[in-house]
């Protein structure tokens, strides 16, 4: 079973193991996705087909950043904010609590930001907004674009 299949079918496991499996498999998936979505600061931004989708869904790149930042700031406690594609290729920002993922909801994720406090406390203390601003400058838009093109093929 792939990690994605394990996450999406964990609800069929007995409750006493389904929850720990979802938490741990989700944690692996979410952190892999998060770290693979970052690179050294480059000043890059969405390009090509992805840029068109960002503009269509959010008007422009600045509005997208505002939408994602607001969602990430709104998470109560621990979780992730995501940029995900729906089946029609439209982009949307969603949030998940704890180590849940957007996979069981049918969304194809292309970017996530970890807002568990452990992701930013050492540098930014409790200032989540400062962390999100820093994180936006290290997003690997090549990876996000590759993920979006893969979503469109499935
Ligand atoms: Fe984390």
Look at domain 3-153 and name its CATH class.
Answer: alpha beta
Residue entry with tokens 């422009």: 60
> Which pLDDT score is estimated for 42?
84
Mean pLDDT of all residues in the chain? 96
Ion ligand 1 — residues with CB under 5 Å? 114, 116, 119
Query: Which pLDDT does position 106 carry in this prediction?
Result: 87
The confidence score (pLDDT) of residue 84 equals: 98
Rounded to the nearest angstrom, the distance between the alpha carbon of 96 and the centre of ligand 1 is 13
**How many other CB atoms are found less than 10 A from the CB of residue 61?**
13
- 25-53 per-position pLDDT tens digit: 999 999 999 999 999 998 899 999 999 99
Using DSSP's 3-state secondary structure scheme, residue 93 falls into strand
User: What distance in Å separates the CA atoms of residue 141 and residue 139, rounded to the nearest whole number?
Assistant: 6
| Phi and psi at residue 116, to the nearest 5° | -60, 145
Q: How far apart are CA 83 and CA 94, in angstroms?
A: 7
Calculate how far, in angstroms, residue 77's C-alpha sits from the geometric centre of ligand 1: 12
142 DSSP β-pair partners: none
- In the reported structure, the alpha carbon of residue 54 is separated from the centroid of ligand 1 by a whole-number distance in angstroms of 26
| Positive or negative torsion for Cα 135, 66, 151, 43 | negative
Q: Other CB atoms closer than 10 Å to residue 40's CB: what's the count? A: 7
The pTM of the full predicted model, rounded to 2 decimals, is 0.95
Instruction: Output the six-digit token pair for 89.
Output: 């290729």
């Amino acid at each position: 079973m792939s990690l994605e299949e394990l996450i999406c079918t964990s609800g069929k496991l007995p409750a006493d193991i389904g929850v720990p499996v979802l938490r741990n498999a989700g944690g692996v998936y979410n952190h892999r996705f998060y770290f693979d979505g970052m690179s050294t600061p480059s000043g890059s931004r969405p390009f090509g087909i992805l840029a068109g989708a960002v503009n269509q869904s959010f008007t422009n790149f600045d509005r997208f950043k505002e939408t994602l930042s607001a969602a990430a700031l709104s998470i109560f406690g621990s979780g992730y904010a995501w940029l995900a594609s729906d089946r029609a290729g439209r982009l949307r920002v969603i949030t998940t609590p704890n180590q849940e993922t957007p996979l069981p909801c049918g969304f194809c994720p292309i970017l996530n930001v970890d807002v568990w406090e452990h992701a930013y406390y050492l540098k930014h203390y409790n200032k989540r907004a400062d962390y999100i601003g820093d994180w936006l400058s290290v997003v690997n838009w090549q990876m996000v674009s590759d993920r979006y093109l893969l979503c469109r093929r499935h």
